[in-house]
Amino acid sequence: MLRPCLPALLGLSLLPLAACGDDVTEGQDEVAGTTDTTDGADTTDTTDTTDTTETTTDTTDTTDTTDGGDACVDTDNLTAAQALAEVEHIIVLCMENRSFDHYFGARQLVEGQTDVEGLDGSESNPNGMGEDITVFHLQNFEPEDPPHTWDPTHAQWNNGANDGFVLEHLNANGAEVAHEVMGYHTREDIPVLWALADEYTLCDQWFCALLGPTWPNRYFLHCATSNGRQGNTPALPYPTTIQDVCGDAGISNKNYYGDVPWRWGAFPLQGFSGTSAMGNFFDALDDGSLEQVVIIDPSFTSNDDHPSHNITLGQALISTVYQALAQSQYWNKSLLIVTYDEHGGFFDHVAPPTTPDSGGPEWQQQGFRVPAVVIGPHVRKGCVNHTVFDHASFAATVCRKFGLAELNERCAGVNDLASCIDPSKINDPQPPAPLPKVVVPIDEVMTRVGVETSQEELMRATGNWPITPAFTAAERRRIMELLEHGERLGALELVRS
């Protein structure tokens, strides 16, 4: 059953967060709960759905947060240019295929953080066999990949009922794993993301751009449009990218990547410019050559968080990027965004809204919520921002910060990230917060590195399909170099057998 969205609770302080390892009595663990509905209960009741005609121009006030956090009510109404006056570098790391409830819903359910629009434990989806599968603690770090292309995603949405997740996974991958889409992770599973949410601004209304897979959503991150593309194919003619307009305006930019940059497949020939290997990002931080606008692609054969890649590698990447920036000369002048391209087929209880888009109704309908944390020395500490964002918000923020023309109607209509900035910190940048070390069991996490990909279409488009032993060996070297760099930065603890 879909649970309606909770209103913002203005002025409410949060309950103290449970320490890592504390016993909890709320939430379900390890095994998905089921509720028998064979007595005639209607498992597809949609009377509690939210109004999906809401647009992203509604900027709900953010709420107060935990002791020691900043006041999150945005009463200043600063423009992006004003809020980001001291920011010179905007960086986005876009991971893969996790929903907000899947990664952050348990902050409400398990830790009692009541201002997070998360889970209360009653959420469920029918399995088509007379049972409802309720949300539970998923302890599998390498789950089966749920369906998340255009048609299955629309079936999961079901016009706002959000009740098709289990059925779609069942149809695609069988009864044994169908329940996994209702699973959530906790602080112990993804400690870096949760610590970043503690210390910076968690956006609980960041929606992927549309109800579809990776490519159209990444197009929206880069271009604020997919030019009508629903699947993982190039958008022809090529839409204008944020890198294009930055380049024309003399604003330095780069798309750093792990194994194969998405741009190479999405913009054949044209996409080869403006890209650079991940190691060069760390070099740029060290030698003072970091660009003003940076997009980071993870490795699509290892650490992108796309099932069935091990999520510990995703935590390691996020922590290494954060620590490298935090220890660099650029920290005081940077804004870092960590988000996910789309929900990946995992359950989320909030019916996505609509937003202005010249492409028509299919493109006005946003996709499900994804995890998103906004990080930096000027960012509100420990806040939950309820403003509606989507992937075009990145381009909108860049355009408004640097005084560029909006890319298109979608870019002009979405909210930028100004509300994540604490006005009192604009001229008083704060030092980086410490994060827990990610413990990385090398033998366990390396088993699938460079062996399977989340982006077969990309690999085909770039001549890397099928994956060869040489590619696998090269990716294993890249990942070990990244992990060892993270260890040197103090971000990771590598456990070797």
Task: Give a yes or no: residue 265 inside a domain.
Answer: yes
- Confirm if 120 and 109 have CB atoms less than 8 A apart: yes
Is residue 308 one of the residues assigned to a domain?
yes
What pLDDT, on a 0 to 100 scale, did the predictor assign at position 29? 52
Q: Please say if the pLDDT value at position 86 is more than 90.
A: yes
CATH assignment of the domain containing 190: 3.40.720.10
Report CA-CA distances (Å) from 48 to 5, 100, 478. Answer: 9, 20, 48
In a domain, residue 151? The reply is no
Predicted local distance difference test score (pLDDT) of residue 75: 60
Please give the angle made by the CA atoms of 25, 26 and 28, to the nearest 5 degrees: 105
pLDDT, average across residues 448-471: 97
How many domains is the chain built from?
Answer: 1
Confidence of residue 33 (pLDDT cuts 50, 70, 90): low
- 421 pLDDT higher than 80: yes
Return the pLDDT at 72: 77
User: Is a pLDDT exceeding 60 seen at residue 281?
Assistant: yes
Can you read off the two tokens belonging to residue 447? 């088993």
- 143, containing H or E segment: none
Give the per-residue pLDDT at 26. Answer: 38
Give 38-58 pLDDT, tens digit per residue: 333 333 333 333 333 344 444
pLDDT at 70: 77
By residue range, what is the domain housing residue 70?
57-103+185-425
- Helix H segments across 124-259? 150-157, 165-173, 191-199, 214-223, 242-248
Give the three-class secondary structure for 140: coil
Average pLDDT over residues 116-125: 99
Identity at 242, one-letter amino acid code: I
Mean pLDDT along residues 258-271: 93
Cβ within 8 Å of residue 424, ≥6 positions away: 70
What pLDDT is recorded for position 328? 99
- Distant-in-sequence, close-in-space partners of 23: CB < 8 Å, separation ≥ 6: none
Print the SS3 string covering 286-329.
HHCCCCCEEEECCCCCCCCCCCCCCHHHHHHHHHHHHHHHHCCC
Distance CA 191, CA 248 (A): 40
Rounded-to-integer distance, Cα 497 and Cα 494, Å: 10
| Half-sphere exposure in the Cβ direction for 256 (13 Å, CA) | 19
Whether residue 484 lies inside any domain: the answer is no
3-state secondary structure of 428: coil
Residue 22 lies in a domain: no
The pLDDT assigned to 50 comes to 37
Note whether residue 206 is domain-resident. yes
AA identity, residue 163? D
Task: Tell me the pLDDT tens digit for each residue of 143-174.
Answer: 999 999 999 999 999 999 999 999 999 999 99
**Angle of helix 278-287 relative to helix 311-326, nearest 10 degrees?**
20
Burial state string for 236-264 with b = 16 or more CB within 10 A and e = fewer than 16:
eebbbbbbbbbeeeebebbbbbbbbbbbb
pLDDT band of residue 83 (cuts 50, 70, 90) is: very high
The percent of residues in the chain predicted with pLDDT above 70, rounded, is: 85
- 464-467 contacts at long range (C-beta below 8 A, 24 or more positions apart): 464/260, 467/301
Top-confidence residue, 361 or 28: 361
Calculate the CA 477 to chain-centre distance. Answer: 26
Q: Residue 200: which of 86, 40, 309, 318 has the closest Cα?
A: 318
Q: What is the pLDDT of residues 361-417, one digit of tens each?
A: 999 999 999 999 999 999 999 999 999 999 999 999 999 999 999 999 999 999 999
pTM of the complete model: 0.89
The answer to whether residue 367 is domain-embedded is yes
Whether the pLDDT of residue 3 is over 80: the answer is no
Query: Looking at the domain assignment, is residue 348 inside a domain?
Result: yes
User: Residue 159: what are its φ and ψ, rounded to 5°?
Assistant: 60, 30
How does the average pLDDT of the chain come out, rounded? Answer: 89
Q: Would you state the pLDDT for residue 497?
A: 87
Give per-residue burial for 466-479: e unless 16+ CB within 10 Å, then b.
ebeeebbeebbebb
Q: Of all residues in the chain, what percent carry a pLDDT higher than 90?
A: 83
169: amino acid identity, one letter? H
